[in-house]
Amino acid sequence: MRRHVAPALSILAIALAACTAQSGDAEAVASNTTPAGPLYVRHAMQAEVNPAIVGIWNVTNNIFTDAGEQDPSLITDEQWASLAENAGKLAASGERMAAAGDIRAAAPGNMATGEYEVPMADVQSFISADPQGFRDMSASFAALARNLEVAAMAKDGATTLDLVAQMDTECTVCHAQFWYAEAQ
C-alpha cells in the first residue's frame, strides 16, 4: 500500500505544476513521463495536446472574412510564432506517445470519470489490445504536427490551414479506436 502513495502524490504534483504553469512552462508539461516510466495518455491530452490545439484554433478560428473564408494574411507575426510554438508542443507530445514503452490510460490519481464518460479501465483495455497501433497513430499525429510547425515558421498560409484541418482527423481516428471504441 505504502509503495503506491509516493508515485500518486508525485503525479498529482506534476499535474498541479502543469496546471499552474498554463502559459508555456515546457518543463512542467514535459514531465509527463521519464524515458523508463509510464506514459499517461490522459495527462498528455489534458496538459499538452488540448491546450496546444486550443492555442492553434484561437488563431485559425479568428481569421474569417465577411465572406466566411479564412484569410491567412490576417495572421500577425506574433500569431505565426504562437502557431509554430503550439505545433511544436503537439509534435513533442505525439513523439513521446509514439516512443512510450508502457502506455497507461491515466495516472492513478486521475482515473475519475463522469457517468457518461468512458471509464479509464476501458481505455486501458483498448490500448493494451493494440499498443503498437497507438504508437503508430501517435507517430502519424506527431509528423503532421511537425509539418504544421514548419509551415507556420515559413508563414505558409495555405499549407498551415490545410494541416490544421487535417489535424481533426488525427484526433478523431485515435479517439475512435482507443477512447470511445465501444460506442462505434
Q: In sequence order, which residues have a C-beta less than 8 Å from that of residue 145 and are 6 or more positions away?
A: 87, 88, 90, 91, 94, 167
Interatomic CA distance for residues 139 and 30, integer angstroms: 17
- For residue 156, how many other CB atoms are within 10 A of its CB? 16
* Binders in 8-37 for ligand HEC, by CB under 6 A: none
- Residue 134 in the binding site for ligand HEC (CB under 6 A): yes
Which residue reads 499498443 in cell numbers? 131
Q: Could you tell me the smallest distance in angstroms from the CB atom of residue 105 to ligand HEC?
A: 5
* Cα 80 to Cα 141: distance, rounded to the nearest angstrom: 20
Number of neighbours of residue 132 by Cβ within 10 angstroms: 7
User: Does 40 contact ligand HEC by CB under 6 A?
Assistant: no
Q: Which of 91, 149, 151, 179 binds ligand HEC (CB under 6 A)?
A: 179
* Contact criterion met (CB below 8 Å) for 43 and 110: yes
Select from 39-47, 59-67, 76-84, 146-154 the region that touches ligand HEC (CB under 6 A): 39-47
1 or 32, CB closer to ligand HEC? 32
Interface with ligand HEC (CB under 6 A), residue from 84, 105, 161, 164: 105
Cell numbers linked to 147: 509539418
**Nearer to ligand HEC by C-beta: 150 or 180?**
180
Binding residue for ligand HEC, selected from 47, 53, 75, 107, defined by CB under 6 A: 53
Determine contact, residues 166/122, Cβ cutoff 8 Å: no
Whole-angstrom distance, CA of residue 118 vs CA of residue 102: 21
Task: Work out which of 17, 150, 171, 181 binds ligand HEC, going by CB under 6 A.
Answer: 171
Between 5 and 19, CB nearer to ligand HEC: 19
Please, which residue, 42 or 146, has the CB nearer to ligand HEC?
Answer: 42
> Residue 55 and residue 21: Cα distance in Å, rounded?
15
Torsion of CA 25, 19, 28, 113, to 10 degrees: -140
What minimum distance in Å lies between the beta carbon of 97 and ligand HEC? 6
Q: Interface with ligand HEC by CB under 6 A: which residues? A: 41-42, 45-46, 49-50, 53, 97, 105, 123, 134, 137-138, 141, 167, 170-171, 174-175, 178-179
